[in-house]
Amino acid sequence: MASQDWFEKDFYAILGVPKDADEAAIKKAYRKLARQHHPDRNAGDAAAERRFKDIGEAHSVLSDKKQREEYDAVRQMAQGGARFRAGGPGGAGGFEDVFSAFGGGGGGQRVRFSTGGPGGAGGAGAQPDLDDLLAQMFGSGAGAGAGARGARGGDPFSGFGAPRGPRPGADVQARTTLSFRDAVQGATVTLSTPEGRRITTKIPAGVKDGQKIRLRGKGADGDPGAPKGDLILTVTVEPHPVFGRDGDNLTLDLPVTFSEAALGATVAVPTLDGTPVRVKVAPGTPSGRVLRVKGRGVTGRGGTGDLLAKVTVIVPQRLTDAARKAVEVLREQEADVDPRAALFEQASG
């Protein structure tokens, strides 16, 4: 988390919770907003994607007790909740006055914060680190390697001058391709990292094409004693020759003969697990009607979807003499029926 964000962003407002909200309220608000703005539900909406990232960022800080205490303290300082002398004769300056003293001897230069990249700590043009500046303000020397996380249970202003804790490992991005069946049913995959490491992990059932999965502790190593980073895995799902997917429902086209559709029948329908089921086709079923088989879809967190079989009436390509005569009899009996009458009425209206 870049410290700059803690000044600029009101995480409570982003989640829509009061500043005294408990963990349950924060979690509830986060889940509601995350579902609303999830990229899977807002494909191509850049604003929703930014909103989703802000929601995750806010939840990451407010759900962590230590980070929340530090965030509250820094926000209080930024809003003028704490006052300090800026070094001028008898002058009680605000938060920005304190920082201006580090940027030009009280000349009012604004200090910018950076968490890495070109000009980072130790490099040419390095920007001051917020933790180091706070450490200096509270009396510990810059050379002491001060950190904002104090030694007394997360108090952001305690323990300045203590060595910084070990840094956790970085997150790692990776991609993998799954068969349609493995994506629906779940699978165990082995990945190779750029460093040559092999990672074996379980992909949960029900993942979608393009979905990102966060695998905790599968990323890069951290400092000794620090946790590993996470593996952010983007999944590509191969298409299936028979089955499609609509949310947690599986779909397929179900061919039926003209006689089955006209007279009714009970027909077999394949399922993804290989066990066929039988469904009833009612007499007079047209092409396009969807038959639902309960509980034969994708199993996800919200339960198991259904199998949706879309009827396609097959017109015979070759007719025997007897079949042709039967169809001709049917045509004579339907001579007064115009199936396109309603179509022309709607078109003219």
Which residue has 């000349």 as its token pair?
Answer: 107
DSSP 127-157: PPPHHHHHHHHTT--GGG---SS-SSTT-TT
| Cα–Cα nearest to 307, from 340, 335, 332, 275 | 275
pLDDT at 268: 96
Instruction: Please report which helix (H) or strand (E) contains residue 255, including its range.
Output: strand 249-257
Residues 6+ apart with CB under 8 A from 99: 110, 111, 133
Output the six-digit token pair for 301.
Answer: 């967190």
**Helix residue ranges per DSSP H, 233-340:** 258-263, 321-333
Strand partners, 174: 233
3-state helix, strand, coil in the chain (%, to 5): 35, 20, 45
Output the six-digit token pair for 84.
Answer: 């300090």
3-state SS class at 186: coil
Please report, in angstroms and rounded to a whole number, the separation of the first and last CA atoms in the chain: 61
Instruction: Please report which helix (H) or strand (E) contains residue 54, including its range.
Output: helix 46-62
pLDDT at 141: 42
pLDDT at 80: 55
Domains present along the chain, CATH in parentheses: 3-63 (1.10.287.110), 172-237 (2.60.260.20), 244-348 (2.60.260.20)
Residues 6+ apart with CB under 8 A from 17: 25, 26, 29, 62
Cβ–Cβ < 8 Å for 168, 227: yes
**pLDDT digit string (tens) for the chain, length 349 residues:** 445 567 678 889 999 999 999 999 999 999 899 888 887 788 778 888 888 888 888 898 899 888 888 888 877 776 654 444 444 444 444 444 444 444 444 444 343 433 344 444 444 444 445 555 555 544 444 444 434 444 444 444 444 444 466 889 888 888 889 999 999 999 998 887 767 778 888 888 999 999 998 988 888 888 888 898 998 989 999 999 999 999 999 999 999 999 999 999 999 999 998 899 999 999 999 999 999 999 999 998 778 999 999 999 999 889 999 999 999 998 898 888 888 888 898 898 7
Cβ–Cβ < 8 Å for 236, 182: no
Residues 6+ apart with CB under 8 A from 94: 80, 83, 84
C-alpha distance from residue 204 to each of 56, 114, 188, 300, 312 (Å) = 21, 37, 9, 9, 33
